[in-house]
Amino acid sequence: MAHLILKEIEQENFNVDNLIENLTYKATDGRVGQQDFDPLILEDIFKKTIEDLKKINDKTKQKIESLESDCQKEKNVCKEKILKLEQSYKDSFEHLSTLDKRISNVSSTMSDMGSQLENLNRPRLNLFESFKTAKYFDKFMDGIDNSGVFADDSKLESAAEVIYKLYLLSSDLNDERFDKANSLIANKYSDIEIKLIQRFHQAFFRNDKKEMKKYLNILSNFKDYQECIIEFTKNLQLSIKDSQDLFSELLPLCIKSNEIFNEVLPNNERIMEQFVKDLFLDRVQTYVNLNIEKYKETDLEKYLDTIYLFYNKTKKIFKELSDLMKMSSESTFFNKLLNEVFQAHLKDYINLEKTNLQNKFKAHLDRFYEKIGHTKKNLQSGFIPNFLSKNSNELIDERFLSHDVTTLCIDDAKKSINRTLLLCDSNSQAKSLDDMYEIICQYLCRDHIYYSIDLHINALQSIDFKQEINLYILPLIKQLNDLMYLFEQFTNDTILPSVINTPYYQKILSKLKQICSDLELKVDNGLEKAFVVICNHIKHVLQMEQKRTDFKTESDEFYNQSTVACSKAIKIVETQVGRINDSLDGINVNKALNELGIKFHRCVYDHLFRYEYNELGGMALIRDINDYRLCAKNFKSPVVDKLFTVLYSLSTLLVAKPANLQEICSEENLRVLSKDTIESFVQLRSDARTLRFQINRK
């Protein structure tokens, strides 16, 4: 049993409850709870199990104590080994320090000995070289110029070294006795220099950088060394092919050339700068001039676009080169070189840009007016267009105001501004942008947007208000708002950020405000005249449709319906209010509806004084006024609602009993009116002559 218990305890998922259940099951053969179950057997099993567990516990404690003792012994052994290793490390470090000092002393001694030996040997070497040079000079004195190293082309480097020393020597010997020798030395100097240059070029065409470096080092002592470098850089430029896109080959060539310069030339930074300068002032400038000038007389837009394209590409290449050459992209070198390449085209650039912008805007406007068959008129001369007589299904923006023209003009302006920001000198950039903004304001705002609203305002004079009216100016105002939003967005996003830190910022902002203010005045003027037309039409309808018998009738046949004149007037109002809501938004629509509502109230008010009212006629008027009051809700104006409420209260005076008139006049709605107004309204009663009413107010 103890063996089984130990085996179960050693399992990873050991559980005490499971152990108890297993013991119970085995001791009773699963008869727990049955009648023949004997608890004493179970008690005996548990006692034996407890004894077994105590024995297992004792054995486990003994094993733990044994293991702890062994661990302590091992720990002591390791501690002794560590102490010995630490002492050994200290001894080794001391020996290493001593050895390092001895090596330093020996190295210093050897260096001193080397310097002493070199000082002793240098005079001997100089003496030997001088002796060798003197021997060769003696040969040249005898007229022999092809002896020794000069007779063997494989020893060209040695010959170059000797002839360089002879050349320096001959330059100091001005006596006539040495003229022949000096002449032979000069000739041999030139011959060897030519051969060295030839060897260098051969190595260049083989791309043998090691040989190139060797011959350039030798040539650095010769007088034509700089010419050789110049020829070398020109040969590098010749590797560019005559392609349609020269700019795609420039950066790879510069990277390749810089690698060659780094490997074969001393002082390569200066050589690289000269190479870049020669490349851009020769090949690139020629390419730029050739491809730009061909558009100047035929296509000004293409001319400006090509300048912008080439200038931008050049600037990007300079940015890459600045990283390659470890220079700032804004350095004087690159800025000066950029201006030199494009100087011929930047001189008159801004004037051409402004001319092109004017031409583009004029062309857009001319094409638009030609397309719609309209010839622009001088509206100051009193010209009155008659286009309002045309079919009402024609859209306003198809004839006098164009979204397409506006977007084309703004797109062209953005292109011009982008070019200006890149190409124009920073000192005059802000002024140039201000000049261009003035062009935009003139052509787009004044010559197109202003013109369209002025045209429609003048056209209002030609409307026959006796016929059904269709006011084109209302949809025009909606179109104006959309186009002005585009213009303001263009100004805020493109123009103003470019001049934000200059005096021109406020100037341009003032121009924008003035444009918006002037347009707002024109729109207000147009709406004012449009409302006059609407009111004249309403007056005409009321006069033509309203019969005197409508308000002086003895029949109550139409008791439950308004008069024909009232219905038609309300229909006109509802139609025009709907158009105003479609054309305006925000505070503008509220302001316009309020103004039209006040004018409409005046039309109705004045109209009422044209008639005399009996009791049934007064009831008919009250019905009309009530419908007018309901119609006035469309204006969404408390002022207009109040006016029609007061008018409704006035109309009750026409049907009130004479005894009640004073009381009605004392009501709150009528107390705001003057006595003359109320009395004049009472005079519209058919019994006014006998009534002789006068209002009594304290």
Q: What is the DSSP letter of 469?
A: P
- pLDDT tens sequence across 283-328: 888 888 888 888 888 899 999 999 999 999 999 988 888 888 777 6
Residue 353 has pLDDT above 90, yes or no: yes
On whether the CB atoms of residues 350 and 424 are closer than 8 A, the answer is yes
The Cα–Cα gap between 78 and 70 comes to: 12
Residue tagged 């300048």 (tokens): 307
Average pLDDT over residues 376-391: 57
On whether the CB atoms of residues 682 and 688 are closer than 8 A, the answer is yes
Query: How long, in residues, is the chain?
Result: 698
- Please, which contacts does 410-417 make with residues 24 or more away whose CB atoms are closer than 8 Å? 410/444, 410/486, 410/487, 410/490, 412/357, 412/360, 412/361, 412/364, 413/357, 413/440, 413/490, 413/494, 414/490, 414/494, 415/305, 416/304, 416/353, 416/356, 416/357, 417/494, 417/495, 417/498
pLDDT computed for residue 415 by the predictor: 95
The least confident of 44-48, 133-137, 552-556, 571-575 is 133-137
- pLDDT tens sequence across 415-447: 999 999 999 988 899 999 999 999 999 999 999
* Token pair for 414: 């953005």
* DSSP element (H, E) containing 109: helix 39-141
- The amino acid that residue 477 corresponds to is I
Residues in Cβ contact with 525 at an 8 Å cutoff, skipping those fewer than 6 apart:
457
pLDDT computed for residue 172 by the predictor: 67
What are the backbone angles phi and psi of residue 685, rounded to the nearest 5°? -70, 145
Cα three-residue angle 140-144-147, rounded to 5 degrees:
100
Q: What count of Cα atoms within 13 Å lies in the side-chain half-sphere of residue 696? A: 6
pLDDT averaged over every residue in the chain: 82
pLDDT computed for residue 34 by the predictor: 62
Sign of the four-CA dihedral 347, 348, 353, 354: positive
Cα three-residue angle 416-318-208, rounded to 5 degrees:
145
pLDDT computed for residue 574 by the predictor: 93
3-state secondary structure of 29: coil
pLDDT computed for residue 632 by the predictor: 92
pLDDT computed for residue 654 by the predictor: 85
Residue tagged 């050739």 (tokens): 290
pLDDT computed for residue 195 by the predictor: 81
The Cα–Cα gap between 657 and 367 comes to: 71
* Token pair for 680: 């004049």
Average pLDDT over residues 272-290: 87
The Cα–Cα gap between 212 and 220 comes to: 12
Q: What is the pTM of this model?
A: 0.68
3-state secondary structure of 691: helix
The least confident of 398-407, 410-419, 567-576 is 398-407
On whether the CB atoms of residues 615 and 657 are closer than 8 A, the answer is no
CA distances from 232 to 78, 296, 486, 494 (A): 73, 36, 57, 48
The least confident of 122-136, 274-288, 386-400, 537-551 is 386-400
The Cα–Cα gap between 145 and 133 comes to: 13
On whether the CB atoms of residues 440 and 516 are closer than 8 A, the answer is no
Q: pLDDT grade, residue 390 (50/70/90)?
A: very low
pLDDT computed for residue 191 by the predictor: 80
Higher pLDDT, 667 or 117: 667
Best-predicted range by mean pLDDT (60-64, 200-204, 233-237, 516-520): 516-520
pLDDT computed for residue 124 by the predictor: 55
Share of the chain above pLDDT 90, in %: 27
Residue 541 has pLDDT above 70, yes or no: yes
On whether the CB atoms of residues 630 and 640 are closer than 8 A, the answer is no
Average pLDDT over residues 252-269: 81
Nearest to 511 by CA among 485, 488, 489: 488
The Cα–Cα gap between 189 and 437 comes to: 69
Q: What is the DSSP string of 598-665?
A: HHHHHHHHHHHTT--B-HHHHHHHHHHHHHHHHHHGGG--HHHHHHHHHHHHHHGGGTS-GGGHHHHH
Residue tagged 């404690």 (tokens): 61
Best-predicted range by mean pLDDT (155-169, 451-465, 543-557): 451-465
pLDDT computed for residue 430 by the predictor: 93
3-state secondary structure of 471: coil
The Cα–Cα gap between 618 and 631 comes to: 20
pLDDT computed for residue 371 by the predictor: 87
The Cα–Cα gap between 625 and 622 comes to: 5
pLDDT computed for residue 388 by the predictor: 47
**Where does 347-447 have alpha helices with state H?**
349-371, 403-423, 429-440
The Cα–Cα gap between 320 and 326 comes to: 10
pLDDT computed for residue 566 by the predictor: 92
3-state secondary structure of 685: strand
The Cα–Cα gap between 352 and 297 comes to: 11
The Cα–Cα gap between 69 and 441 comes to: 100
CATH fold of 549-691: Methane Monooxygenase Hydroxylase; Chain G, domain 1 (1.20.58)
pLDDT computed for residue 568 by the predictor: 92
The Cα–Cα gap between 539 and 370 comes to: 39
Strands (E), 89-156: none
On whether the CB atoms of residues 405 and 364 are closer than 8 A, the answer is yes
pLDDT computed for residue 41 by the predictor: 73
Residue 394 has pLDDT above 50, yes or no: no
The least confident of 114-123, 265-274, 631-640 is 114-123
Hey, how many other C-beta atoms are within 10 angstroms of the C-beta on 437? 23
* Token pair for 117: 């030996």
* Token pair for 173: 């010997």
Q: pLDDT grade, residue 51 (50/70/90)?
A: confident
* Largest CA-CA distance found in the chain, in angstroms, rounded: 160
pLDDT computed for residue 382 by the predictor: 53
Cα three-residue angle 114-116-117, rounded to 5 degrees:
65
Residue tagged 């004012």 (tokens): 528
Residue tagged 């493109």 (tokens): 494
Residue 32 has pLDDT above 90, yes or no: no
pLDDT computed for residue 628 by the predictor: 93
On whether the CB atoms of residues 321 and 309 are closer than 8 A, the answer is no
Hey, how many other C-beta atoms are within 10 angstroms of the C-beta on 546? 21
Q: What is the DSSP letter of 343?
A: H
The Cα–Cα gap between 507 and 231 comes to: 56
Higher pLDDT, 1 or 57: 57
Best-predicted range by mean pLDDT (35-39, 321-325, 339-343): 339-343
The Cα–Cα gap between 636 and 634 comes to: 5
Average pLDDT over residues 499-517: 93
Q: Assign residue 384 a region (left: φ > 0; alpha: ψ between -120 and 50; beta: otherwise).
A: beta
pLDDT computed for residue 243 by the predictor: 67
* Token pair for 458: 């003048």
Residue 168 has pLDDT above 80, yes or no: no
